[in-house]
Chains A and B, each alone.
Chain A
Amino acid sequence: GAVVSQHPSRVICKSGTSVKIECRSLDFQATTMFWYRQFPKKSLMLMATSNEGSKATYEQGVEKDKFLINHASLTLSTLTVTSAHPEDSSFYICSARDWGQGERNTEAFFGQGTRLTVV
């Protein structure tokens, strides 16, 4: 299957600082990437849809000034959690769509996730 790499896998930051999470598609071009947040023992909550070369589309209730998304190239999207607070501690997962032919363009390919802890 397609490979999506997310970095870092774990990060601890101090309250008030910002942290950037990267999501890369390694073997395909991803014009669209998605950012999810997963609470403990819960399902995935879509935060925003990241489109290469344009502004991200945020889901209702997600603060776009707090969760900055940049999708500057066809293989890289970044999520920056600004002025992080302990309540932002969570597991963040990115996924990407492969627009190629066949079954690959029906599913989402996920990164490994990032465990963010704000202290």
Chain B
Amino acid sequence: AQTVTQSQPEMSVQEAETVTLSCTYDTSESNYYLFWYKQPPSRQMILVIRQEAYKQQNATENRFSVNFQKAAKSFSLKISDSQLGDTAMYFCAYRPVYNFNKFYFGSGTKLNVKP
């Protein structure tokens, strides 16, 4: 069975500092996608970053980058130069490449960016 685990229910970081959110997953599939979604107080889910499992290079989007360790089934999100607007719930998600209907979400990490 596929599962996604986020072991940090809540984290805090000072503005301008760097924070890393952890995510592990379990799957028997060899090809899949991993995502980090952000849910700010407005509740709108926004894609932060996406990683394809067959790509070894870690994805990067401006201040957001991932550390994808396929063998360890780990997919952490690093936020550099944290901003107040980064305050949100962050969900790690997994989806097999050939089954779009099955998005598996972690339980989420509440990130508080402090001024």
Please give the residue numbers on chain A whose beta carbons come within 8 Å of chain B beta carbons, in ascending order: 1, 32, 34, 41-44, 46, 49, 57, 91, 93, 95, 97, 103, 106-108, 110-113, 115
Contacts and interface: CB of A to CB of B under 8 A. Distances in A.
Contacts of B50: 103, 106-107
Nearest to B103: A108
Contacts of B33: 106-107
Interface residues of B, number: 21
Nearest to A6: B44
Contacts, number: 46
Given A93-B45, A106-B33, A106-B50, A34 B101 contact: yes
B107 interface: yes
B103 A46 contact: yes
Contacts of A95: 45
A42 B108 CA distance: 7
Nearest to A45: B105
Interface of B: 33, 35, 37, 42-47, 50, 52, 91, 95, 100-101, 103, 105-108, 110
Given A43-B91, A97-B100, A112-B42, A1 B105 contact: no
Nearest to A51: B101
B45 A49 contact: no
Contacts of A93: 43, 45
Nearest to B43: A113
B44 A113 contact: yes
Contact of A43 (B42, B43, B101, B106): B106
17 contacts: A34-B103, A42-B107, A43-B105, A44-B91, A57-B101, A91-B43, A93-B43, A95-B45, A106-B52, A106-B95, A107-B50, A108-B103, A110-B46, A112-B43, A113-B43, A113-B45, A115-B43
